């Protein structure tokens, strides 16, 4: 009988670590063809509607950047945590916490404060809100050695329920006919569009700035170096005297700050108020973005644009061809699946063996 | 009768180097055959080809007169070839008995196997509890597991790679008895080592490798150690020079009744360890690993802090200080595990210099000064003759000896007041070992206090001014080397109290 056996390679395949995201994308497209056929859809037209049509108009490009921006920002923060083997799965909750904190600012000071100061205050509130949410798993991990994967994951649901409570109670719009939502933010509390008529706004510069800062952090800061050592060789980090607790705190606070800021950008941008559901799963998709982008800022920007296109494409085919919305989600999952599979093959080779 | 194993001009090339170039070798039945050579001479590659872990590019392997292709270690096992690797191939998270079971075929009966292990261990004096998880074992204990695992396979050819570096002299003699008995029973033994005295005592034939080629055959019973060394390195290494002993009057590092429960439930508790270490001297801690070495190193480095007054530096209590605070005060460590602890495997040498060298002006306001980091690593590479492709080489691409030279070089460049070194020359070739020992002596003569924890008694006797023995978590009083004999220390390592009764 022939058996397939995975053997570790002596060295990873050269160049393949960078090529594997592209191979994963190609496999995702390939596997989608029989799926689309099974759904009774012409693959060529559907793929065109999915990947090309959304970008053919200025509005399409605007929406593309608007969706990519929070994904990239969250993934940048996640990459800091992931590099140190701090597994923060709670960006969705931190995003929500940041949006709530920013909305509180907007509702309290929206009528009186000047535009720039208000946006700055909201950004600070968003980042702090995300960090506060992230400090819970950090505290529990460093004090009680809890598993941060479980704690951050569960806190996502707590944050979601807290938001639901707030928009149904303390933060509900008094003039809102009892709809579960906050009052619409004053114009002073909103980012101005970059181009009149399009929704993309100045917040994308925050994301670009964060990408530059993350690059600087990893490439040139000693703390970034410590995070990398802590993830790559934890025993060596302990030997050198790097404190594991510090790495956990930095990883979680940075990813909390970026997720909270992304929540603020969404609240002060396309949402302009809070409703019971404010995120189409950005916090989870950003995990895929971070890994597809190889935990590097430039890669994360490219991956964020790619995953954002999957969101837009999913909506486009939904409208144009009445395709179920879950198709885009399944594409995301396939992409991650193939990426992880490609990584296994980069590090291992498959051999046929007679048993 | 055909020889047990015959290699006919085996060659193996890697991308940049020829690891083995037309190596031929004959091992007779029941022969103990030595393969001598420095690190990088090609011993490991040769052994891996015999064991099926690597395929030769050229040449033939004849097993008992029959040409064979050994596709993998399992095929080697089926032929009757067993291997004790220098770097252990064991699973961390499961007990000893499971580690041994994976190498055996037949019914999986842990109870019966544990009984066999215990019996075999008692017969050969290789004490191991079959139910302990592997990650709790010291390096020395792990090697015993490797040896036991091989012996349980009833091999016809047993390959041992530097097997005695973690054994006491008495245990080494016992192991030799075992090996001689195995040979008398017809098992052939391929013995990889650089310890010339052992080879002369044990082996009946020797093949010497240098630069991937066979440079000579010798009869170790008749050749002198100097002859073998010359064959192996091309020239014999210089003896360690020791300037006269200029020891500081006041102790630099003091341990006062250091008592600590091990964080590992199967570890060894430290019991009232008292030691004074002065600037200008080297003190050796002898002992078989698993007797508290790991715990002592962690207590000294700060990885497991103790009560403040149990560790003093220049009279200042630092027992509660963590690693970083102690490093600032000049307490440095060269750990036993080089790859993974002393160095991060995937990072470059430049980054591994930064790992602990960041205090030497390599970081300013939180930012790394890349040019200085590279200069720091380049300085170490030059001053310590580290053979590598440059500062960008990943730590794991270096041989054990060269990586150790880099790590020792890094810590010495930081000019420590106290240097703790665990197993400084474990698995390091003769020339590099002599070099490292000389550097440690030089460091102490320049005024630093050096503590060497080693299982190699010859090494301790070569470089140390005073020697103490750690056994079962207790340390007896350090005595001047001149007052001690290797035999006495060896007996104390095995737990004999009468020889080195704790004296003032």
pLDDT in tens, B315-371: 999 999 999 999 999 999 999 888 899 999 989 999 999 999 999 999 999 999 999
**Interface check A161 vs B, CB under 8 A:** no
Distance CA A135, CA A137 (A): 6
Q: Which of A159-173, B111-125, B219-233, B250-264 reaches the highest mean pLDDT?
A: A159-173
Give residues 316 to 345 of A whose Cβ lies within 8 Å of B: none
Q: Say whether pLDDT at B444 is over 70.
A: yes
Res. A326 pLDDT band, cuts 50 70 90: confident
Res. B502 pLDDT band, cuts 50 70 90: very low
Pick the closest to residue A171 from A183, A179, A160 (CA basis). A183
Q: Which are the contacts of A307, defined by CB distance < 8 A and separation ≥ 6? A: A68, A71, A285, A288, A289, A292, A332, A335
Better pLDDT: B333 or B225: B333
Question: What mean pLDDT is predicted for residues B139-158?
Answer: 82
Q: Do A225 and B345 touch (CB under 8 A)?
A: no
Q: Which are the contacts of A63, defined by CB distance < 8 A and separation ≥ 6? A: A54, A199, A200, A312
DSSP state of B28: -
Report whether A31 contacts A334 (CB < 8 A). yes
Report whether A130 contacts A257 (CB < 8 A). yes
Tell how far CA A279 is from the center of its chain.
Answer: 10
Q: Would the CA dihedral through B345, B346, B348, B352 be positive or negative?
A: negative
In this prediction, residue B463 carries a pLDDT of 92
Q: Number of A to B CB contacts under 8 A, please give it.
A: 66
Q: Say whether pLDDT at B491 is over 90.
A: no
Distance CA B299, CA A245 (A): 20
Lowest mean pLDDT among B254-258, B266-270, B491-495: B491-495
Question: What mean pLDDT is predicted for residues B438-461?
Answer: 91
Nearest residue in chain A measured CA to CA from B350: A225
Q: Say whether pLDDT at B243 is over 80.
A: no
Query: Of the candidates B342, B351, B358, which has its C-beta nearest A239's C-beta?
Result: B342
Q: Say whether pLDDT at B194 is over 80.
A: no
- Domain segments of chain A: what residues? 77-296
Q: Do B367 and A236 touch (CB under 8 A)?
A: no
Nearest residue in chain B measured CA to CA from A231: B344
- The CA angle B471-B475-B476, to the nearest 5 degrees, is 105
In this prediction, residue A341 carries a pLDDT of 85
Pick the closest to residue B4 from B26, B37, B20 (CA basis). B26
Lowest mean pLDDT among A92-101, A132-141, B81-90: B81-90
The share of chain A scoring above pLDDT 90, in percent, equals 64
Distance CA A223, CA A214 (A): 12
Pick the closest to residue B178 from B120, B115, B242, B265 (CA basis). B120
Q: Say whether pLDDT at A232 is over 60.
A: yes
Lowest mean pLDDT among B43-57, B232-246, B307-321: B232-246
Q: Which residues of B touch A239 (CB under 8 A)?
A: 301, 303, 323, 333, 335, 341-342, 356
Query: Of the candidates B356, B367, B370, which has its C-beta nearest A240's C-beta?
Result: B356
Q: Which residues of A touch B322 (CB under 8 A)?
A: 241, 243
Helix (H/G/I), strand (E/B), else coil: B335: coil
Report whether B146 contacts B90 (CB < 8 A). yes
* Torsion angle, alpha carbons of A178, A179, A182, A187, to 10: -110
Question: What are the backbone angles phi and psi of residue B276, rounded to the nearest 5°?
Answer: -115, 130
Distance CA A280, CA A284 (A): 9
Residue found by looking up tokens 């064959």 in the block: B231
In this prediction, residue A142 carries a pLDDT of 94
Res. A230 pLDDT band, cuts 50 70 90: very high
Token pair in block for residue A250 = 């930095």
Res. A2 pLDDT band, cuts 50 70 90: low
Q: Do B323 and A238 touch (CB under 8 A)?
A: yes
Q: Would the CA dihedral through B479, B483, B484, B488 be positive or negative?
A: negative
Task: Looking at B309-455, list the stretches that DSSP marks H as alpha helix, in order from N- to C-terminal side.
Answer: 323-328, 349-357, 370-383, 400-413, 430-445
Res. A328 pLDDT band, cuts 50 70 90: confident
Q: Say whether pLDDT at B499 is over 70.
A: no
ipTM of the predicted structure? 0.82
Pick the closest to residue B405 from B370, B446, B372, B377 (CA basis). B377
A241 to chain B nearest CA, in Å?
Answer: 5
Lowest mean pLDDT among A110-114, A211-215, B281-285: A110-114
A9 to chain B nearest CA, in Å?
Answer: 12
Pick the closest to residue B429 from B451, B411, B403 (CA basis). B403
A121 to chain B nearest CA, in Å?
Answer: 27
Q: Do B354 and A238 touch (CB under 8 A)?
A: no
Q: Which residues of A touch B403 (CB under 8 A)?
A: none
Question: What mean pLDDT is predicted for residues B93-99?
Answer: 88
Question: What mean pLDDT is predicted for residues B85-97?
Answer: 79
Q: Say whether pLDDT at B88 is over 80.
A: no
Distance CA A63, CA B241 (A): 75
Q: Say whether pLDDT at B29 is over 70.
A: yes
Lowest mean pLDDT among A122-126, B6-10, B215-219: B215-219
Helix (H/G/I), strand (E/B), else coil: B445: helix
**Interface check A24 vs B, CB under 8 A:** no
Question: What mean pLDDT is predicted for residues A168-174?
Answer: 90
Q: Which are the contacts of B210, defined by CB distance < 8 A and separation ≥ 6? A: B37, B38, B41, B231, B232, B233, B234
Distance CA A291, CA A157 (A): 23
Per residue in B458-477, pLDDT (tens digit) is 889 989 999 999 988 999 88
Calculate Rg over the CA atoms of chain B: 23
Q: Give the helix, strand, coil percentages of chain A, each rounded to 5.
A: 70, 5, 25
Give residues 230 to 289 of A whose Cβ lies within 8 Å of B: 232-233, 235-243
Q: Between the CA of residue B84 and those of A88, B62, B178, what are the distances in Å?
A: 42, 21, 15
Better pLDDT: B254 or A21: B254
In this prediction, residue B496 carries a pLDDT of 67
Better pLDDT: B442 or B487: B442
Question: What mean pLDDT is predicted for residues A241-267?
Answer: 96
Res. A316 pLDDT band, cuts 50 70 90: confident
**Interface check A222 vs B, CB under 8 A:** yes
Distance CA B356, CA B354 (A): 6
Q: Which of A233, A237, A243 to mutate to test the interface with B (most CBs of B within 10 A)?
A: A233
Q: Say whether pLDDT at B503 is over 50.
A: no
Question: What are the backbone angles phi and psi of residue B263, rounded to the nearest 5°?
Answer: -70, -20
In this prediction, residue B504 carries a pLDDT of 34
CB atoms within 10 A of CB A111: 11
**DSSP assignment of B120-144, as one string?**
HHHHHT----TTSBGGGS-HHHHHH
Better pLDDT: B215 or A67: A67
pTM over 0.80: no
Res. B235 pLDDT band, cuts 50 70 90: low
* Torsion angle, alpha carbons of A33, A34, A35, A41, to 10: 70
Q: Which residues of B touch A225 (CB under 8 A)?
A: 351, 354, 368
The edge-to-edge listing of strands for the beta sheet with B157-161 is B81-84, B157-161, B188-193, B32-36, B205-210, B213-218
Question: What mean pLDDT is predicted for residues A32-36?
Answer: 89
Token pair in block for residue B35 = 């393969």
Distance CA B103, CA B51 (A): 14
Q: Say whether pLDDT at B290 is over 50.
A: yes
Residue found by looking up tokens 């033939």 in the block: B60
Res. A1 pLDDT band, cuts 50 70 90: low
Q: Say whether pLDDT at B126 is over 50.
A: yes
Q: Say whether pLDDT at A87 is over 90.
A: yes
DSSP state of B114: H
Q: Do B368 and A222 touch (CB under 8 A)?
A: yes
Query: Of the candidates A232, A235, A243, which has its C-beta nearest B347's C-beta?
Result: A232
- Domains of chain B in start order, with CATH, are 5-233 (3.40.50.300), 237-330+416-504 (3.40.50.300), 339-415 (no CATH)
- Average model confidence (pLDDT) across chain B: 86
Strands B466-471 and B367-368: unpaired
Q: Which of A121-130, B25-34, B220-229, B291-300 reaches the highest mean pLDDT?
A: A121-130
Q: Do B351 and A225 touch (CB under 8 A)?
A: yes
In this prediction, residue B182 carries a pLDDT of 84
């Amino acid at each position: 009988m022939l058996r397939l056996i995975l053997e570790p390679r002596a060295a990873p395949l050269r160049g393949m670590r960078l090529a594997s995201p592209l191979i994963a994308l190609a496999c995702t497209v390939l596997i989608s063809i029989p799926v689309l056929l099974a759904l009774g859809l012409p693959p060529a037209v559907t793929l065109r509607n999915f990947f090309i049509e959304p970008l053919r108009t200025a509005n399409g490009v605007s929406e593309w950047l608007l969706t990519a921006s929070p994904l990239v920002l969250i993934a940048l923060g996640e990459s800091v945590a992931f590099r140190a083997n701090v597994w923060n799965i709670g960006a969705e909750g931190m995003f929500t916490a940041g949006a709530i904190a920013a909305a509180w600012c907007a509702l309290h000071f929206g009528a009186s404060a000047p535009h720039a100061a208000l946006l700055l205050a909201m950004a600070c509130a968003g980042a702090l809100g995300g960090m506060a949410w992230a400090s819970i798993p950090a505290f529990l991990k460093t004090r009680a050695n809890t598993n941060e994967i479980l704690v951050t994951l569960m806190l996502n649901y707590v944050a979601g329920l807290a938001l639901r409570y707030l928009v149904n109670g303390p933060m509900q719009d008094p003039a809102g006919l009892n709809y579960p939502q906050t009052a619409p933010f004053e114009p002073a509390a909103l980012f101005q569009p970059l181009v009149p008529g399009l929704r993309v706004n100045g917040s994308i510069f925050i994301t670009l700035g964060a990408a530059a800062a993350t690059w600087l952090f990893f490439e040139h800061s000693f703390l970034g170096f410590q995070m990398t050592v802590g993830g790559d060789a934890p025993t060596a980090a302990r030997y050198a005297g790097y404190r594991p607790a510090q790495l956990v705190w930095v990883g979680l606070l940075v990813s909390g700050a970026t997720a909270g800021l992304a929540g603020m950008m969404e609240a002060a941008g396309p949402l302009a108020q809070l409703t019971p559901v404010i995120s189409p799963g950005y916090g989870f998709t950003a995990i895929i973005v971070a890994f597809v982008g190889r935990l590097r800022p430039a890669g994360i920007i490219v991956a964020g644009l790619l995953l954002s296109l999957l969101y837009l494409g999913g909506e486009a085919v939904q409208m144009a061809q009445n395709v179920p919305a879950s198709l885009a989600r399944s594409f995301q999952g396939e992409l991650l699946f193939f990426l992880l599979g490609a990584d296994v093959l980069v590090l291992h080779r498959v051999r046929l063996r007679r048993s | 009768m055909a020889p047990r194993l015959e290699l006919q001009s085996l060659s193996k090339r890697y991308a940049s180097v020829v690891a083995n170039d037309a190596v031929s070798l004959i091992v007779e039945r029941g022969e103990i055959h030595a393969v001598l050579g420095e690190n990088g001479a090609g011993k490991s590659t040769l052994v891996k080809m015999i064991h099926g872990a690597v395929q030769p590019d050229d040449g033939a392997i004849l097993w008992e007169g029959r040409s064979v292709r050994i596709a993998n270690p399992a095929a080697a096992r089926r032929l009757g070839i067993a291997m004790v690797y220098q770097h252990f191939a064991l699973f961390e998270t499961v007990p000893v008995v499971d580690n041994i079971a994976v190498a055996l075929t037949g019914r999986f009966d842990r109870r019966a196997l544990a009984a066999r292990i215990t019996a075999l261990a008692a017969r050969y004096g290789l004490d191991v509890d079959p139910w302990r998880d592997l990650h709790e074992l010291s390096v020395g204990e792990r090697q015993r597991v490797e040896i036991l695992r091989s012996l349980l396979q009833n091999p016809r050819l047993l390959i041992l790679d530097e097997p005695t570096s973690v054994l006491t002299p008495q245990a080494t003699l016992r192991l030799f008895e075992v090996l001689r008995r195995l040979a008398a029973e017809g098992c052939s033994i391929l013995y990889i080592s650089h310890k010339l005295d052992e080879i002369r005592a044990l082996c009946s034939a020797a093949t010497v490798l240098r630069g991937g080629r066979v440079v000579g055959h010798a009869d170790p019973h008749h050749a002198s150690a100097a002859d073998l060394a010359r064959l192996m390195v091309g020239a014999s290494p210089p003896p360690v020079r020791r300037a006269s002993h200029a020891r500081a009057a006041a102790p630099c590092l003091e341990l006062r009744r250091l008592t600590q429960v091990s964080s590992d439930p199967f570890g060894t508790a430290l019991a009232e360890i008292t030691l004074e270490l002065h600037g200008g001297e080297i003190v050796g801690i002898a002992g078989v690993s698993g007797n508290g070495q790991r715990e002592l190193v962690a207590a000294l480095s700060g990885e497991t802090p103790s009560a403040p007054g149990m560790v003093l530096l220049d009279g200042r209590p630092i027992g509660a200080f963590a690693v970083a605070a102690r490093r600032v005060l000049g307490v440095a460590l060269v750990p036993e595990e080089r790859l993974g602890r002393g160095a991060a495997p995937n990072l470059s040498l430049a980054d591994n210099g930064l790992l602990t060298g960041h205090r030497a002006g390599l970081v300013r306001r939180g930012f790394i000064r890349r040019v200085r980091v590279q200069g720091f690593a380049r300085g170490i590479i030059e001053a310590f003759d580290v053979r590598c492709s440059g500062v960008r080489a990943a730590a794991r691409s270096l041989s054990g000896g060269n990586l150790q030279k880099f790590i020792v070089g890094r810590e010495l460049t930081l000019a420590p007041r106290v240097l703790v070194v665990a197993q400084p020359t474990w698995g390091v070739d003769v020339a590099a070992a002599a070099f490292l020992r000389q550097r440690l002596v030089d460091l102490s003569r320049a005024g630093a206090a050096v503590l060497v924890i080693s299982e190699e008694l010859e090494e301790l006797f070569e470089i140390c001014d005073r020697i103490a023995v750690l056994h079962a978590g207790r340390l007896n009083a350090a005595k001047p080397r001149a007052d001690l004999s290797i035999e006495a220390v060896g007996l104390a390592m095995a737990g004999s109290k009468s020889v080195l009764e704790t004296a003032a």
